[in-house]
Amino acid sequence: MSISERVLAGDIRAASRLMRDIDDGRPAATRELQALFPRTGKAYVVGITGSPGAGKSTLTDRLIALYRKQGKTVGVLAVDPTSPFSGGAILGDRIRMQDHATDPGVFIRSLATRGNLGGLSRATGDCIRVMDAMGRDVILVETVGVGQDEIDIAQMAHTTLVVVVPGMGDDIQAIKAGILEVADVFVVNKADLDGADRAVRELRSMLELRHAIKAPPMDHDAHHRMVMAKAHGLPVEAPVQDPEWEPPILKVVASRDKGVDELVAAVERHRVHLESTGERKAREQARAQMQFVAILRERLLKSALARLERERGHLAEVAGRIADRTADPYALADELASQLAE
Amino acid sequence: MSISERVLAGDIRAASRLMRDIDDGRPAATRELQALFPRTGKAYVVGITGSPGAGKSTLTDRLIALYRKQGKTVGVLAVDPTSPFSGGAILGDRIRMQDHATDPGVFIRSLATRGNLGGLSRATGDCIRVMDAMGRDVILVETVGVGQDEIDIAQMAHTTLVVVVPGMGDDIQAIKAGILEVADVFVVNKADLDGADRAVRELRSMLELRHAIKAPPMDHDAHHRMVMAKAHGLPVEAPVQDPEWEPPILKVVASRDKGVDELVAAVERHRVHLESTGERKAREQARAQMQFVAILRERLLKSALARLERERGHLAEVAGRIADRTADPYALADELASQLAE
């Protein structure tokens, strides 16, 4: 049996191997992903993002337990681009979520790809599809929400939880500002600490500020165009936001299992909202477009570089001529792209 | 006169406009950048990265003053991807570095592009080239060092300063771990605070740990191949690190102008090191390759999508068929790329 056939049969070891190949950027993974593709699109993906120290792992752990209680199978992807050495992610697998280690209904993997140009978000998208093809009902994607990659990853989720904790400094709040736009549900975790109500108030006023800035609210068409522009890799003028969903702000103490039921209920309300407004379909389409553009981009570059090497010499030599200013990178790119325009 | 001619003549307003066009992702900017390209490659680029609150702006301010005293013209790019609304960067321009506002030898711009797939790092690279073409001797690029984008941006600099402060929590240190690899010089800022010596010791032991893991040290060829792989957009197995440079760790109190002379001297030592080992040339070539691949990638995608729309319908419709699993994104990408392989 091929790797993809084994993945479709639910084989954990085959899935782990494929995800490792994806993380390592091995070309062979592409064929397997192509074979899996028709069987994807069924899982519900929940993103969990927030600063380090916000308690995301504990929260994820409690969400796993609740979804398991509902009889759902769960996949967990922990995305950790901050790990300094490549060993980080593997260690992460070992130390986190020990409780679920023996439950075959829970499949946990870490991902730490450090390639540039969207490599991390592409690998994450591919790993989500592997877990989806395995038949996992719910996929939890945990990221440290600080950079553009994390924002891209958050947009792969159907529902994105943004986790904050009371009493973090203003600087930390500033970091989080970038991910406000992708929040479908806010979680104030460690809500038994001082300042929980203040954190709720701050989030509420940030949401109101956003409303004030965006007045009049975007209509559905404008929103859809923007989702598409973002999927296309084009700069967008304003945040991609569902105009008909007001993100709830929930107080949770994950370590004592408080408020987690309400959180799962909020995720479910958001799922129903997405279905009933057609937003889920729009998001699936945006995601499909983003995925296609990423595949296309990589495939085109590979062919163009092969052609360049045939006609102009090795890429490093061409780069040397560009560095010397004896070759023009814009003219070279135009020339290689002209085959496509014919 | 065209915009690019005005930029070459040192026209601040033309440069500002071009950088705004770059930030907005306007296609017209590409033609101007192409015209500027032969006149770039002369400036020395210093990256300044670190967590929010590390005092990077104050440090940048002091570096400006010192370089101006040396008679050098200075460009400053403040890259802030965390700003929640697009107004953030403009505000930043106004409030920071007021002292230099009337000095024509200092040109300060902020950048907050939020496009995905490396949009921020591409825009930063383009803006560096604009300042370079204007004839700025030194370009300071200040980033909040937390994500992949910031790591990519750091790699555009000849010398990258990583700024830390004493007494930050372990979580913050963990974030910074990802940018350790790109540090050429460590700055322990606010070194009059308790814990400065401890921060120095921690950094030193992190550097030693890195040595231990990488034994035997990478030879020059291996290092060069890795720089190239990274430039190519391929995942790299290990950090890109100059094996012959031991990053110094300097204690600085930027707010009281202490240790800034020594810092500028360390940057100068690193510059001499880069020149004498041929590393500067290698880095210029890697940068040229990265830039070319980025230009090529964008150009190819544009042509391929135009062809797709001619032959298969609008991208959004194609994405709808992919979302329905009635079209195969891998097969479509292969088909479009096949023209290039002929």
Q: Is residue A14 part of a domain?
A: no
Is B64 in the same domain as B106? yes
Least confident of A189-203, A205-219, B4-18, B263-277: A205-219
Is B287 in the same domain as B267? no
- Between B180 and B288, where is the model more confident? B288
Is A268 in the same domain as A157? yes
**For A79, phi and psi rounded to 5 degrees?**
-100, 120
Is A223 in the same domain as A270? yes
Rounded to a whole number, what is the distance in Å from the CA of B163 to chain A's nearest CA? 15
Which are the contacts of A204, defined by CB distance < 8 A and separation ≥ 6?
Answer: A249
pLDDT tens string A75-115? 999 886 554 333 334 344 444 556 677 788 999 988 865 55
Q: What is the CATH number of the domain that holds B254?
A: 3.40.50.300
Instruction: Answer whether 0.80 is exceeded by the pTM.
Output: no
Is A149 in the same domain as A238? yes
Q: What is the pLDDT of residue B291?
A: 87
The rounded distance, in Å, linking the Cα atoms of A64 and A72 is 9
For residue B22, what are the CA distances in angstroms to A281, B18, B75, B83?
A: 33, 6, 16, 18
Q: Is residue A26 part of a domain?
A: no
**Which residues of chain B neighbour A237 with C-beta distances below 8 Å?**
86
CB atoms within 10 A of CB B205: 10
Q: Last residue of a domain, which of A248, A277, A306?
A: A277
Q: Last residue of a domain, which of B246, B262, B277?
A: B277
Is A262 in the same domain as A288? no
For residue B217, what are the CA distances in angstroms to A150, A221, B214, B223?
A: 32, 56, 6, 10
pLDDT tens string A43-77? 999 999 887 778 888 999 999 999 999 999 999 99
Q: A138: which strand partners?
A: A44, A74
Q: Is residue B9 part of a domain?
A: no
Find, among B174, B241, B182, the residue nearest to B213 by Cα.
Answer: B241
Query: How much is the average pLDDT of B324-342?
Result: 91
Query: How much is the average pLDDT of B209-220?
Result: 52
Number of domains in chain B: 2
Is B287 in the same domain as B258? no
Going by the DSSP 8-state scheme, the letter that residue A249 receives in this structure is E
ipTM: 0.80
The rounded distance, in Å, linking the Cα atoms of B131 and B135 is 7
Q: Which range in A217-226, A290-299, B79-88 is most confidently predicted, on average pLDDT?
A: A290-299
Least confident of A90-94, A277-281, B104-108, B285-289: A90-94
Q: Is residue B25 part of a domain?
A: no
Taking the Cβ of residue A331 and every Cβ of chain B, the question of whether any pair is shorter than 8 Å is answered with: yes
Q: Last residue of a domain, which of B256, B277, B298?
A: B277
Find, among B155, B159, B109, B163, the residue nearest to B138 by Cα.
Answer: B159
* Cβ atoms B255, A290 nearer than 8 A: no
Q: Is residue B32 part of a domain?
A: no
pLDDT tier at A239 (50, 70, 90 boundaries)? very low
Find, among A113, A107, A106, the residue nearest to A26 by Cα.
Answer: A113
Alpha helices in A74-219 (DSSP H): 88-95, 119-133, 148-154, 170-180, 196-213
**For A12, phi and psi rounded to 5 degrees?**
-60, -40
Is B240 in the same domain as B308? no
Least confident of A131-140, A232-241, B326-335: A232-241
The rounded distance, in Å, linking the Cα atoms of A209 and B91 is 17
Q: Which of A116, A151, A224, A274 to mutate to test binding with chain B, by most B CBs within 10 Å of its CB?
A: A116
* Cβ atoms B54, B189 nearer than 8 A: yes
Tell me the percentage of chain B whose pLDDT exceeds 70.
77
Find, among A129, A126, A141, the residue nearest to A40 by Cα.
Answer: A129
Render the burial of B224-247: b for 16+ CB within 10 Å, e for the rest. bebbbbbbbbebbebbbbbbebeb
Is B129 in the same domain as B255? yes
Q: Which residue range(s) make up the domain with B238?
A: 41-277
B52, A175: Cβ pair inside 8 Å? yes
In terms of Cβ atoms closer than 10 Å to its own Cβ (0-12, 13-18, 19+), residue A194 is exposed
Q: Tell me which residues of chain A, numbers 211 to 250, contact chain B at a CB-CB cutoff of 8 Å.
A: 213, 228, 230-238
Is B134 in the same domain as B257? yes
Q: Is residue B220 part of a domain?
A: yes
Is B331 in the same domain as B206? no
Q: Is residue B8 part of a domain?
A: no
Residue in the structure block whose two tokens are 């052609």: A307
* Cβ atoms A171, B51 nearer than 8 A: yes
Query: Three-state DSSP class for B158?
Result: coil
The identity of residue B69, as a single letter, is K
Q: A46: which strand partners?
A: A140, A159
Closest-CA residue of chain A to B145: A147
**Which residues of chain A neighbour B83 with C-beta distances below 8 Å?**
177-178
Is B60 in the same domain as B99? yes
Q: Is residue B303 part of a domain?
A: yes
